[in-house]
Amino acid sequence: MKTHTFSTPMMQQYAAIKEKHADCLLFYRLGDFYELFMDDAKTGADVLDITLTKRPRGKDGHIPMAGVPYHVADIYIGRLVKAGHKVAICEQVSEPDGKGIVEREVVRIVTPGTLLDEQSLDKREFNYITCIILEKDFIGFANADISTGDFKATQFLRNQSLSTIIKDEVARFNPKEIILEEEMYKDKELLKIITQIKDVNIYNIASKETNPRYIASHLKKALRHQKPCSVWPRR
């Protein structure tokens, strides 16, 4: 994202949030619409075939923008994600009081493996997100379809070519998204193997997010109030 200096409070807020999510298209909630600004607006208008406008924003002049109604946003988000983009959903988290700008924050980031909208999912297929962990003696895969609750994990000894293991396992689950921790994401050999696989999006996550203690704490928090249930796949 290019650095812009804004003078109006709303655009200053937008710029601060966008800076934290520079790799995403920011769906910024304004009343009954989600708005895209600047380069995001140009990308959104092109991919979604919606109108790109330039509205006056006080001292900040004319700013490119494009918007979609909030009640049909899932459809547009699905189209953007399928086109290979990550989308950050920025909601209003305080009520207008007439004294200052409404507080906003990103409440969700949508990627190919985290789509939940039924209209954007193929009911005939699973929608797996796969995490790969590479160690000296083994390689591990965790595959989850969060729209159905299906989860499978596998581990292989590295006693055959890395390329063969990855390609065979990815072909078995056909994930829409693969995530790698930071050091693996910098591994040119590994990236070369994965990028040869058709129609797979690759994203990296912070190393701390793969730390067992970090993961355990989040799982305990997420499952603390959950009741056992049966989840059936769509097909």
Q: Tens of pLDDT along 74-120?
A: 999 999 998 889 999 999 999 888 788 899 999 999 998 888 877 77
| Sheet with 87-92: strands ordered across | 53-56, 62-69, 33-37, 25-30, 87-92, 104-110
Beta pairing partners, 181? 205
Same domain, 164 and 76: no
**pLDDT single digits (tens) 169-207:** 988 998 989 998 888 888 888 888 888 877 778 888 766
**pLDDT single digits (tens) 84-97:** 899 999 999 998 88
Nearest to 11 by CA among 52, 62, 51, 85: 62
51: domain CATH number is 3.40.1170.10
Among residues 110, 134, 157, the one where a domain terminates is 110
Rounded Cα distance between 115 and 52, Å, is 26
Residue 230 confidence (pLDDT) above 50:
no
User: What's the average model confidence in pLDDT over 18-34?
Assistant: 94
pTM: 0.75
Task: Tell me which residue range forms the domain holding 52.
Answer: 9-110
Percent of the chain at pLDDT exceeding 70: 85
Q: What is the DSSP code string of 90-105?
A: EEE-S---SSSPPPEE
Residue 14 maps to a domain:
yes
Same domain, 13 and 80: yes
